[in-house]
């Protein structure tokens, strides 16, 4: 059975999320607008659709425009399920450590259902990074490579059996590389 996040997306009704979001955010919410996007521009709309949620959150006298995104995928194989399970584990165990030096989204909620798939509710990074360029100039390329280097440096000498490696994560976590090797015990399965 789908939880409130998957149910809201299936019904295309953001208001179904109101009780869960108000409890999670500890705020009174205005109308919840829900919009499905066509996928990222650079993939020609072929990537996973992202749902955008917009609402006003009020705590006491303070009011803030809030934007979240929901990434909803319906894995078609055990390997894809394992890949998204690893992504979930990344947000739970690696992202908090990385956030000390890098800007990453916060996973506010995650739901899994064998019939509906897996859905991540994240803060919307386009609030801080509104531009999604088609290409990069030299300074942009340097900034991107610096970000990636910092990301990888956090776990460079980490041992997947412990020693600083995020708990529960696969030692090699790229989906595309996983397709060429067997979906063995390296991948945490549901």
For residue 190, being part of any structural domain is answered with no
Asked if residue 17 belongs to a domain, the reply is yes
Asked if residue 183 is part of any domain, the answer here is no
Q: For residue 189, is it within any domain?
A: no
20 versus 115: which is more confidently predicted? 20
Q: Is 156 inside any structural domain?
A: yes
3-state DSSP assignment of residue 134 = coil
**Contacts for 125 with CB less than 8 Å, ≥ 6 apart:** 103, 105
Backbone angles phi, psi at 132, to 5 degrees: -125, 85
Using CA atoms of 96, 97, 102, 103 in order, give the dihedral in degrees to the nearest 10: 0
Reported pTM: 0.79
125 within a domain of the structure (yes/no): yes
How many domains would you assign to the chain? 1
Confidence of residue 179 (pLDDT cuts 50, 70, 90): low
Sign of CA dihedral 125, 17, 86, 45: negative
Find the helix packing angle between 4-11 and 18-25, rounded to 10°.
140
Is the model's pLDDT at 186 over the cut of 80? no
Q: Is the pLDDT of residue 185 over 80?
A: no
Let me know if residue 154 belongs to a domain: yes
What whole-number distance in Å separates Cα of residue 123 and Cα of residue 121?
A: 7
For residue 173, is it within any domain? Answer: yes
What range does the domain containing 76 cover? 4-178
CA distance 159 to 95: 17
138-158 pLDDT, tens digit per residue, is 998 998 899 888 877 777 766
């Amino acid at each position: 059975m789908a939880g409130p996040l998957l149910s809201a997306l299936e019904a295309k009704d953001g208001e179904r999320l109101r009780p869960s979001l108000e409890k999670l955010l500890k705020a009174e919410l205005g109308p919840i607008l829900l919009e499905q996007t066509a996928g990222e521009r650079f993939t020609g709309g072929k990537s996973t659709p992202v749902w955008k949620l917009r609402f006003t959150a009020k705590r006491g006298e303070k009011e803030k425009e809030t934007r979240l995104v929901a990434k909803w995928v319906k894995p078609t194989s055990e390997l894809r399920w394992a890949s998204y399970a690893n992504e979930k584990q990344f947000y739970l165990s690696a992202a908090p450590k990385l956030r000390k030096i890098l800007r990453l989204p916060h996973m506010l909620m995650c739901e899994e259902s064998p019939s509906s798939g897996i859905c991540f509710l994240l803060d919307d990074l386009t609030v801080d990074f509104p531009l999604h360029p088609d290409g990069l100039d030299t300074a942009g390329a340097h900034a991107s490579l610096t970000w990636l280097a910092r990301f990888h440096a956090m776990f460079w000498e980490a041992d997947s059996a412990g020693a600083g490696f995020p708990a529960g994560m696969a030692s090699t976590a790229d989906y595309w590389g996983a397709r060429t090797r067997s979906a063995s015990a390296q991948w945490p399965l549901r």
